[in-house]
Structure formats: structure tokens, C-alpha cells
Amino acid sequence: MSFLAVLQASQLVTLAGPKRPRVGAELSEIGIIRDGGMLIRDGKIDMIGPSDEIEKELGGAEIVDAGGRVVLPGFVDAHTHLVFAGNRLDDFERRARGETYAQIAKAGGGIWSTVEKTRAASDVDLFAQAKKHTEWFLRCGTTTAEAKSGYGLTTEHELKILRIMRRLNKETPLEIVPTFLGAHAVSREMRADEYVDLVTNEMLPRVAQEKLAEFCDVFCEGGYFEIEQSRRILSVAKKLGLKLRGHVDQLSNCGGARLMAELGATTADHLEKTDELGIVAGSVYALGSTSYPRAREMIETGLAVVLATDFNPGSSPTPSMSMILSLACTQLKMSPAEAITAATINAAYSLNRGNKIGSLERGKLANFSVFDCEDYREPAYWFGIPSMHSVYVRGRRVLLRADEN
Ligand SMILES: [Zn+2]
């Protein structure tokens, strides 16, 4: 039985509040305890409050002195493409020269180049690269990450990616929430309708049978999957017991958000150009666009806004939630408190884990980060500086390469 006491956090940011996603003004209520502390038993929070009250209950606990630093819940990244091979450095450079996504794809870049590398990678190599990605997330204070397949686009390779996620869950401290995104793009080897048949008749039943994914996602965009094709895929997924997410309206407004609402999807992501209902993702910066989602309107209309990195090799090569907090404050005009809520408790609810993670409250998992600063607004403010002091998952300090000297 492990017993741990965290003491002397300048601000212990609890995110304590109602047991549901936070909307409107609630996004600003982050439950700060000054000079805060907590007791952690067997990986769960047993008591939380001012340090001097915690100190009265120490009896034999191992002490973690936060040393006047800020403590936040582990970030929950509700949208990533964590498992892929290689990188897209050539695309990155082409984009810098002013080439469009269409020109880059024609020159052999784009998603298809990542599909080819991911298919060709051995299990050993693909696992090793994905494991490195999990270390990046942990080092940035993210303790749970949703991860989508979608760089395989054959039954064999989609299953290979999902099985790697299952192994990451067992062998790394990062909690992975697996999403099947076979409908990330239409495979080059077949027509769109043939590919949709493959997804619905073969991939989805296998994914469900092996219990490889919790969610099913579809890239519902003009040129990818049309509304009717998306509806077919998501309907089959729903029947098989998967929960639904959606990549919608990133490049054009195709009514995908309405489809997601109609099918009862948990989230509709991206939404840089949608009219209603939404979630925020972070690929706009890296694409060099300025068309950011209208987060203020979303908050004011009462949506439970979620921030995510959309970590992927093409449009968003960052695992850093602090970077996303910075973008949220400077580009989306969210306050630091709203951004933190969107990256923790709201993200946890969007992954159906709001009862376990996303806030520091009695009974929840002791997933938290100690930031090397005194004020919770600093991680969003000092951008580009690694501000992490230490990261804990289930009350255990996560070993990171940066620590090992
Ligand atoms: Zn994405």
C-alpha cells in the first residue's frame, strides 16, 4: 500500500465542481487552494486541502514537497494521432515555401506518405516510435491521451496500430484511449464506396470483436467521406457498441457537426469553420492559417469547450498542452482558467472519464503535474519554455529521460 503526501503547492488547482462538463462561467472556476496539499493512498486522492490541515494527517506518508510550485491535474488530450511512423519534414519545408496541401500531396507528401511509412514499419519500430511519443506527452504533463488509428487503411494495418495502442497502455504510464479511425482517408487502392464497405463489413467487426477501440471516428469532409458515407460507418460502429467522435468541418462546412449531433456523438472535433456545436483542436497554428475556432462564441452559447493538441505528423506536430494553452489565450481569446478547464475536466468528460480523472478531488486518480512556477497562468504565458518540474500518474512519479541525470 502506497501513502503519499503532497505539501506546499503555491496553488493547488483542483478543478473541483459539478460532476459534469463545465460550461459558460463555470469554465473560469478552477478551484484553487493556496498553499495546498493532498494525501494519496494507493494511487487515489484521499484528502485534499490546505497544507497545514494535510500535515496533521501525515502518519508515515512519503512526503512530496511541491516547494511553492503550482500543481495541476494531469492534462487530458482528447484528440491525438499518436501512432505513426516517420515524420513530414519535407511537407513542413514545402509549406514554408508557400505550397498548398494539394500541391504537397501531389508531390508525394500528405497523409499518404505517412500511411506508406506506417504500413512498412515493423511492429518493433512502430512501437518504439509511438513509445517515444508517449514520453513526450508525459514530459508535457499529459497523463491521458485519446489516440486514433487511421494511418493503416487496410484491415491488417489498422489492427496493427490499435494493437500497438493496447501495448502502450500496458507498458507505459500514459493512459491511452483508443479510437478507430479507419475512415481517415479513402485508401488509394479502391473507390470510396468499396472502402466504406471494407470499413463497415470487415474492419469494424474485427475492431469490436478484439475490443481494440472505445470510439469510432470519421473524417467527414468534402473529398474524404461524405455525409452519407460517414453516417453508414458511424451507424455500424454504434450498433457494435463503439462510442462516436467526429473530425468535421475542418476544411469546409459540410454539415458534419449536425450529423454528429444526430447520431449522439460524444464530440465533434476541429470546427474551425462551423456554425454550431463544437470542440477546439490545435492544428491551425502549424498549418500557418489564422482561421481559429470561435471559442468565445462557443463558450457564450454554453458549449463544453475542450482543447486538444491534435498531435499528428502533418498538421500539428506538438504534444505540448502548454503550447495549446498559449494558443487558446492569445489566438482564441480564452482566459488561462478557461483553457485549463478545457484541457482537463472537460476533456476527461469528452472521453467518458470525468468520474475518474480531470480534476483533483477525493476518490479520483492521483494524476497531476508540478509546474516550475508560482501562478497557474504561467504555463500558458511563458511559451516555448519547458516548465514541468515533475509528473505523477496514479500517485507515482513518472520516470522521464530529462530526470535521468
Ligand atoms: Zn485529428
Q: pLDDT-based confidence at 246, cuts 50/70/90?
A: confident
Q: For residues 271 and 300, which has the higher predicted lDDT (pLDDT)?
A: 300
How far, in Å, is the centroid of ligand 1 from the Cα of 123? 23
Q: How far does residue 150's CA lie from ligand 1's centre (Å)?
A: 10
The alpha-carbon radius of gyration of the chain (Å, integer) is 21
Q: Residue 77 pairs with which residues in a beta bridge?
A: 145
Q: What local confidence, expressed as pLDDT, does residue 285 receive?
A: 63
- Residue 221 CA to ligand 1 centre (angstroms): 12
Task: State the distance from the centre of ligand 1 to the C-alpha of 185, rounded, in angstroms.
Answer: 12
pTM of the model: 0.93
Torsion of CA 117, 120, 123, 125, to 10 degrees: -50
Distance 266 CA to ligand 1 centre (A): 15
Which pLDDT band, with edges at 50, 70 and 90, does 286 fall under? low
Cα of 62 vs centre of ligand 1, distance in Å, is 40
* Distance from the alpha carbon of residue 55 to the mean position of ligand 1, in angstroms: 44
Check pLDDT > 60 for residue 269. Answer: no
Of the candidate ranges 298-302, 337-341, 370-374, the one whose mean pLDDT is the lowest: 298-302
Long-range contacts, 295-298 (Cβ 8 Å, 24+) = 295/328, 295/332, 295/333, 295/334, 296/332, 296/333, 296/334
- Expressed in angstroms and rounded, the spacing between residue 20 Cα and the centre of ligand 1 is 24
DSSP state of 359: S
